[in-house]
Amino acid sequence: MSPHDHETPAGGHAHGGHHGHDTTHIDWEEFATLLESEAALSLPLYEEVAHWVREQLPAGSVRRVLDIGSGPGAVSCLLAEVFPQAEVVAVDATPGLLELARARADRTGLGDRVGTRLAELPEGIAELGPADLVWASGSLHHVGDQRAVLTGLAGLLRPGGLLALLEGGLPARHLPRDIGIGRPGLESRLEAAAAAWFADMRAALPGAKPEVENWRALLAAAGLTPTLTRSFLLDVPAPVTDAVREGLVSGLSWQRGALEGRLDADDAAVLDRLLDPDDEEGLMHRPDCFMLAVRTVHTARRG
Ligand SMILES: C[S@@+](CC[C@H](N)C(=O)[O-])C[C@H]1O[C@@H](n2cnc3c(N)ncnc32)[C@H](O)[C@@H]1O
């Protein structure tokens, strides 16, 4: 439930809806809090991915890591911990998010190895400099010409270097099918509405190019050798902590706004109840909410 998942914009995303609302344009500065809470909830998954990626690289070989579309830098800092000999550069087009990344790096004592670089993709890629690992999580699908971005990023890799692309997986789930209010199957309907939103979001991106989302084929077309593909599970069962509840509320309230006009009135009313902090059936109180998500990671090597 965020601009990060393709079912939500997190994977998240937002420009030019077809219902008279411009709900597909994403103001990334406004997303800072949501991105931070999502990253905090997903950190165990990212940690597992980072260790899996490390196993694919010769020990000590990683000197420079680029975190492409880093957002507020939680993963950039994690990568600095997992690759203790590396300089990590958080790359993003949103200055406010890079400030948060900078602050996080300083706060966690990683300031000397985590840097930030303001760059708009794909135009800014050429200036990013060489890397042993390029990590792109949930950022590629926010760029119109995904093929151009992958080709540019592939060109930054040193021989033997790896590109790790986190795209796709399964839409996150947070509630049982029947939650006792409204029609059963709310999340399936949200997912369908979010998929339509996602298509409109992509179509409205500058330089949008339709692309078959065969990531391994796209990595190969970028001149790399696809190596592994694996999906990682984030499983936070009920009952969840207040911090998880707050994360679910942030994600769902984002969806409530982005999907305005795409949901029927009954589902919209149920969402309002779920988001109401004083409603006993709301996310802040109900005992049955959880967090279940799958993220797929593709790796590819430069020969
Ligand atoms: C969904 S967030 C992903 C954040 C982080 N990588 C993660 O996995 O949690 C997408 C990020 O991509 C950045 N972004 C979107 N379009 C971009 C572009 N054209 N150039 C550079 N960064 C971009 C946004 O500012 C945002 O921080």
Q: pLDDT (tens digit, 9 = 90+) per residue, 219-243? A: 999 999 999 999 999 999 999 999 9
Q: Please indicate, yes or no, if residue 16 is contained in any of the structural domains.
A: no
Give pLDDT tens digits for 133-155: 999 999 999 999 999 999 999 99
* 271: nearest Cα among 256, 260, 249: 256
Which protein residue's CA is at the shortest distance from atom 4 of ligand 1?
71
Q: Please indicate, yes or no, if residue 9 is contained in any of the structural domains.
A: no
- CB hemisphere CA count around 210 (13 angstroms): 2
Q: The CATH number of the domain where 198 resides is what?
A: 3.40.50.150
* Cα–ligand 1 centroid distance for 187 (angstroms): 25
Residue 143 Cβ contacting ligand 1 at under 6 Å: yes
The string over 139-155, giving b where at least 16 C-beta atoms fall within 10 Å of a residue's C-beta and e elsewhere, is: bbbbbbbbebbbbbbbe
Under 8 Å between Cβ of 2 and 34: yes
pTM of the shown model: 0.93
Q: Please indicate, yes or no, if residue 248 is contained in any of the structural domains.
A: yes
Mean pLDDT of the chain: 93
Is the pLDDT assigned to residue 22 strictly greater than 90? no
Of the residues 79, 100, 139, which should be mutated to test ligand 1's pocket, given the most ligand atoms within 8 Å of the CB?
139
Q: Please indicate, yes or no, if residue 240 is contained in any of the structural domains.
A: yes
Of the residues 142, 149, 167, 234, which should be mutated to test ligand 1's pocket, given the most ligand atoms within 8 Å of the CB?
142
**What's the structural domain count of the chain?**
1
* 25: nearest Cα among 155, 209, 248, 200: 200
Instruction: Tell which atom from ligand 1 comes closest to the C-alpha of 69.
Output: 12
* Cα–ligand 1 centroid distance for 138 (angstroms): 7
Query: Could you tell me the residue range of the domain that residue 70 belongs to?
Result: 22-301
Q: Please indicate, yes or no, if residue 73 is contained in any of the structural domains.
A: yes
Reported confidence tier of residue 257, pLDDT bands at 50, 70, 90? very high
